[in-house]
Chains A and B, each alone.
Chain A
């Protein structure tokens, strides 16, 4: 099976010059985990995951204290918002370089990339690096395990 058979073709995306505030609105309204960043020609220039967004408000002590079980309430941090200045910065300032595959990529190869890079979604591009689809960990993973119960797969 190829990734083009399990990917979503209707992809929400954002431009590198859009603000973080605008990105937040898309994430919340569409209830998605990542946003491919594309230029005016539709070419993939980066990826923005919820992880990068959340890191803007995570507490500073997180990397300094190994075990935070004893902190039962986060107090003021729970209500923390990014500064207006931070929210008006462009998406390009926090996006990460995109890892993508072409539509003919195998599923296990795609799953390996997600696994290695700790990503949740994999953008799919054509030969001109134009975004054509996106496949999530769930899309790829379920497509892989679905084959285990067909007559050809496994002992069944």
Chain B
């Protein structure tokens, strides 16, 4: 009992510190992990071996592998090339630009991290909008929303999905059959909604179209050879993702293999490549795993799961929908990664108690993936496009996000809820 209270206190305090954003989230989580290890030793509920076992090496491996691939692809100018191509193809028409940039953002974020995606696409968006003489704000805001939506569609698109796949055993193809169809519907709904919400801004016909047509995509691509090599390996990796089940290999296996293959083929300055890896994100994951492992070992999550199981047994549908909206609401206010890491063991306990938890995994994935769209601080992608927009003459404000982003989040959750209820029998299987 004391062990449980101490573990819960440490967990709550460090998560509070993470969410307060007073100090760096990795430092807050690392301090908590340290405290948890000491408490575990003193009260005898959490051993060092248990802490090491709590670190999900599958998740870390997949994230690291993908980060290495991005670190090699980004300096080649490939994304700039694609964005410039889209800009020319739009012929400077705002609605076309929104659809093209939206589609690219979603497609890229299905395979790469959402944050990476907007960091790559937003600068070129600002460039094209400024040349056209229109405000980049609607486009940047849409890109953040659509990257979060795209990320929810695949196993590798977003860290919560990586975590869920590793904990549930869902394969890459499981996400394509269970998540992607719903995400596609959400995508079209969102694009239509954005078209409506920004109808005034999108009506303006820019008169500097020749300037956009004078952009030269070939010049934007700085290193053709490296780009081709990384993309070839990335294509091979996607192929392996499809064959994950028959070959019985993990996503982490594929990503680290792809990273090793690309490093061998490109042979970059490894020091420079490693500078682009987000070590603080990886460290944050490790610290959170150790923290959550502690409250799990102390028996806190078991008690929570027992309580949830009673509700779940009486009304599993309500539990699924409740999970979806609860996780989405939390993700709109705070980081969805710690939320996902904390909820995963609860779902696992529910599974151990005999509940069919498959629908709950999907509810967690949709909630964590789409909830972040609700507020200006809901996801890192939102924060990034906002800070980029501050360099332009029309910065994105919290008020603008509440008027444009929040409706998108609510409507997309509503769409997901309806589809989730319809597909529920499918999710049970």
Contact = CB atoms under 8 A, between A and B. Distances in A.
B77 interface: yes
Interface string B204-243: 0010101110111111101000000000000000000000
B126 A64 contact: yes
Interface in B264-313: none
A60 B391 contact: yes
Nearest to B390: A60
Given A70-B217, A70-B219, A72-B215, A64 B132 contact: no
Contacts of A33: none
B286 to A, nearest CB: 31
A61 B126 contact: yes
Contact of B126 (A60, A74, A83): A60
Contacts of B212: 75
Interface in A3-58: none
Contacts of A83: 393
A73 B222 CA distance: 19
A71 interface: yes
Max chain B C-beta neighbours (<10 A), residue from A64, A68, A74? A64
B123 interface: yes
A73 B126 CA distance: 15
B24 interface: no
Contacts of B220: 67, 70
Interface string B176-217: 000000000000000000000000000000101011101111
Nearest to B119: A64
Max chain B C-beta neighbours (<10 A), residue from A69, A70, A76? A70
A65 interface: yes
Given A64-B126, A65-B123, A65-B124, A76 B217 contact: no
A28 B126 CA distance: 30
A22 to B, nearest CB: 23
B25 to A, nearest CB: 24
A69 B222 CA distance: 11
A72 B214 contact: yes
Given A64-B388, A65-B80, A73 B211 contact: yes
A69 B219 contact: yes
A77 interface: yes
Interface in A108-129: none
B127 interface: yes
Given A64-B391, A76-B133, A59 B215 contact: no
Interface of A is mostly: loop
Nearest to A83: B393
A68 B208 CA distance: 18
Given A75-B133, A76-B133, A76-B211, A67 B77 contact: yes
B222 A59 contact: no
Contacts of A71: 127, 131, 215
Nearest to A59: B130
B392 interface: yes
B122 interface: yes
Contact of B132 (A61, A65, A72, A76): A76
Nearest to A62: B391
A35 B210 CA distance: 38
Contacts of A70: 80, 84, 215-220
Nearest to A72: B214
A156 B307 CA distance: 95
B215 A60 contact: no
Nearest to B221: A70
Nearest to B75: A66
- Minimum-distance CB pairs A-B, first 5: A76-B133, A75-B211, A75-B208, A64-B123, A70-B219
Given A67-B77, A76-B208, 16 more contacts: A59-B126, A59-B130, A60-B130, A61-B124, A64-B122, A64-B123, A65-B123, A67-B220, A68-B127, A75-B208, A75-B211, A76-B131, A77-B130, A77-B131, A77-B133, A79-B133
Interface of B: 77, 80, 84, 122-124, 126-127, 130-133, 136, 206, 208, 210-212, 214-220, 222, 388, 391-393
11 contacts: A60-B130, A60-B136, A60-B392, A61-B123, A64-B122, A70-B217, A71-B131, A72-B214, A73-B211, A75-B211, A79-B133
